[in-house]
Amino acid sequence: MFDPISIPFDSVMLFNVAKLKEGVSIEDVELTLGEMCNAVKNAYGDDDGGFLAGQVFKFSGFVSSEGSFTDEPAREQGDLAIVTYWQSFDQHEKSHAHHAFKEKFDELVSFCDDVYEVGYELLWQGEASR
């Protein structure tokens, strides 16, 4: 569950941001989030399914002044970032049609004011030399 992940160069990354409704905490959605992620991993974690790895982050409030282009970087972000890595975008889209995933995703969305997902193709990756 907390093991390092390896991402092949020819993969795609989907970045999903969820803004929780006022009064809803991360703890309120943890079980739903875990079940949703497990549904994808278990149903699509082979070559045919295309799921490679995933990560879930919570927004912690820090914003990099050094890495931001504007004088006042946006401080109101989503509460959760769900990052998934896939062999292809088409495989990702098929996973969202899976009934177990769809049921848990709809449950997560019911706790949210806003949810969006955007995809990226990997252009560079590297690790620090140690």
Handedness of CA 83, 56, 97, 29 (dihedral sign): negative
The residue extents of the domains of the chain are 12-61+77-121
Q: Percent of the chain at pLDDT above 70?
A: 94
For residue range 75-129, list pLDDT tens digits in order: 567 899 999 999 999 999 998 888 888 999 999 999 999 999 999 999 999 888 8
Pairing outcome for strands 80-86 and 112-121: unpaired
Residue 98: the pLDDT is: 83
* pTM for the predicted model, two decimal places: 0.87
61: amino acid identity, one letter: G
Q: Which two tokens stand for residue 24?
A: 């809803």
> Taking Cα atoms as reference points, which of 56, 68, 76 lies closest to residue 16?
56
* Burial zone of 20 (CB within 10 Å; 0-12 exposed, 13-18 middle, 19+ buried): buried
CATH assignment of 12-61+77-121, among 1.25.40.80, 3.30.70.100, 3.40.50.970, 3.40.50.300: 3.30.70.100
For residue range 32-60, list pLDDT tens digits in order: 999 999 999 999 998 889 999 999 999 88
Lowest mean pLDDT among 6-10, 21-25, 98-102, 121-125: 98-102
Residues 6+ apart with CB under 8 A from 81: 15, 16, 17, 18, 56, 57, 58, 59
